[in-house]
Amino acid sequence: MSRLERAQQWLSLVANLGVILGFILIAVQLNVNTTAIRLQNTMHLNRDASTAEIALMGETMHEAFAAAMSSPAEMTEAQIAQVWSYLTVILNSAMNTWVAYESGIATAEDWEYATTVASTYLAFEVGEIFWNVGKEEDYYPPGFIAAIEARVSTMDRNLIANQFESIVEQVRQIDRRELGGQSP
């Protein structure tokens, strides 16, 4: 076999390896694109749902959330709907982060922060009721439910309500004379 034939064989081998490597890179890129499209679609769905939920919250959401923490038995149906909408927005945001984390786009720290925020808003009696209904309706993926459940189970059941009551008490103890007689 001549040098030219060996060189042609080596060039043919290198060219074939290049083609195989090219196919592998295309497959990897298709997988990345599919993941990105899935993530984008989920985020758009949750963003649109959250936009609708925010509209339902209305201008008195603060009153509804305060009632949920201080006197839940006295909440009106409208206030219950407002709090439900608010918690849905919080959970949709956490689910976006979960999907991104599962896809390898978000970091473990991102997911930890999202679970902490979502769980904190579920850690009071009314939040617990909404969470129990939401997870039973199979709206959320099982992996998401398991992660939120694990985090909620480690939290004080009335964390946010207790924090709210503490803040209200501290604010009510402000002596206006210390402020020079002016309203805050």
137 phi and psi angles, rounded to 5 deg: -80, 0
State the pLDDT at residue 16: 86
**112-139 pLDDT, tens digit each:** 999 988 888 888 888 889 999 888 877 7
User: Do 75 and 64 meet the contact criterion of CB atoms below 8 Å apart?
Assistant: yes
Say what the pTM is: 0.65
Q: Is the pLDDT of residue 12 over 70?
A: yes
Q: What is the pLDDT of the chain when averaged over all its residues?
A: 81
**DSSP string spanning 100-169?**
HHHTTSS-HHHHHHHHHHHHHHHSSHHHHHHHHHHHHTT-S-HHHHHHHHHHHTTS-TTHHHHHHHHHHH
Question: What is the per-residue pLDDT across 66-100, written as a single tens digit (0 to 9) for each?
Answer: 888 888 999 999 899 888 888 888 898 898 889 88
For the chain, give every domain's residue range: 41-179
Cα separation of 120 and 109, whole Å? 16
Would you state the pLDDT for residue 73?
93
Q: What is the pLDDT of residues 44-63, one digit of tens each?
A: 666 666 666 666 666 777 88
